[in-house]
Amino acid sequence: MVGTVNDSNNTHSLRRFSFRRDSRGPIASNAIVAAGVALALAMAAICAVVLYQSQPDAMDHTTDIYALWWHRALIIAAVMGALATACIGLCFAFGGQLRRRMRAEAELAMLARTDGLTGLNNRRTLDEILNQEWRRARRNRSVFSLLFVDIDRFKVYNDTYGHQAGDDALAAVAKCIGENIRRPVDSAARYGGEEFIVVLPDTSPEGAASMAERIRAAIVNLAIEHVGSEHGHVTVSIGAASWTPQWDVDVCAVIRAADEALYSAKATGRDMVALSTAHQANDKLWLDRQAAAPAKAELQPVTVIWQCS
């Protein structure tokens, strides 16, 4: 197992929600090089004109008079040519240094927004993804789905096999989650400890449950030994929640619903997927408010347990 995960889908989401690489950097470096070349060419053209106009005529008897001036013109032309060459070299060197600096800044920005152990998005990036996708779903009136993934009995695993093995297991699970995210708009992040969150914009409850089951089965297929688990290997429990955002509800409601579904999956036996139906109560409540503006009611999510083979 490795301690770093390189996932193309997750990298895509990082590029979308991280500090955007300033595209003006390469343009500026290329502009500097082009300006230097243009300046050098202009200097060379001036030298050529000066030399051409200073050439003595064959029938001109004033050659001796202009000999000194001709000698100085050659020296000036040579100096300007050397300066033009140096200017071109400096422009290329400065442009290359600017591009290297832009790449280094982009890498630092990526590292600042990535979890070092798993390679997934970190909590800071997750907050930005959640806020942006929630606002988009609210504008488009589309379904917003979220998966809350938790490794079963991970503390026992750490106590049994050691923290290094625990880190390897976390990295393997994170890689498995990342590999099962198919769409570029989907993203995964480490929420904290052994918990992960998968954001699925514009995904129905059925699609979220299918994605959760795919992730659960893929982690089972890793067959990572875990003697402290009732299943004999590392497993995960997953809570799924799908909501159609309303203007008076924030994304924290979806996280709470997925978290409650996760605890239902754990209480039912672990290695399971639980789908929260809180979104149904939310939609009904919103329709009731639109029709009769009733008193505010507290949502009590009901979970549907997906039995896994």
| Beta bridge partner(s), residue 196 | 149, 190
HEC string of 170-209?
Answer: HHHHHHHHHHCCCCCCCEEEEEECCEEEEEEECCCHHHHH
pLDDT digits (tens, 9 = 90+) for 256-269: 999 999 999 999 88
Are both 64 and 178 inside the same structural domain?
Answer: no
Are both 138 and 103 inside the same structural domain?
Answer: no
Are both 231 and 281 inside the same structural domain?
Answer: yes
Active-site residue set: 194
Q: Does residue 235 lie within any of the structural domains?
A: yes
Tell whether the model's pLDDT for residue 289 goes beyond 80: no
Q: Which of 55-59, 66-70, 134-138, 250-254 has the lowest mean pLDDT?
A: 55-59
Answer whether 236's CB lies under 8 Å from 152's CB.
yes
Nearest-5° angle of CA 178, CA 179, CA 180? Answer: 90
Are both 244 and 186 inside the same structural domain?
Answer: yes
Out of 112, 137, 163, a domain closes at 112
Q: 184: domain range?
A: 116-306
Answer whether 134's CB lies under 8 Å from 251's CB.
yes
Tell whether the model's pLDDT for residue 22 goes beyond 50: no
Comparing 213 with 25, the larger pLDDT belongs to 213
For 93, the token pair is 């060197």
Out of 112, 140, 158, a domain closes at 112
Out of 88, 112, 136, a domain closes at 112
Q: Does residue 272 lie within any of the structural domains?
A: yes
Q: Does residue 138 lie within any of the structural domains?
A: yes
- Element at 217 (helix H, strand E): helix 205-222
pTM for this model (two decimals): 0.65
The helix-helix angle for 154-161 and 163-179 (nearest 10°) equals 130
Quote the number of domains for the chain: 2
Are both 75 and 128 inside the same structural domain?
Answer: no
Q: Does residue 247 lie within any of the structural domains?
A: yes
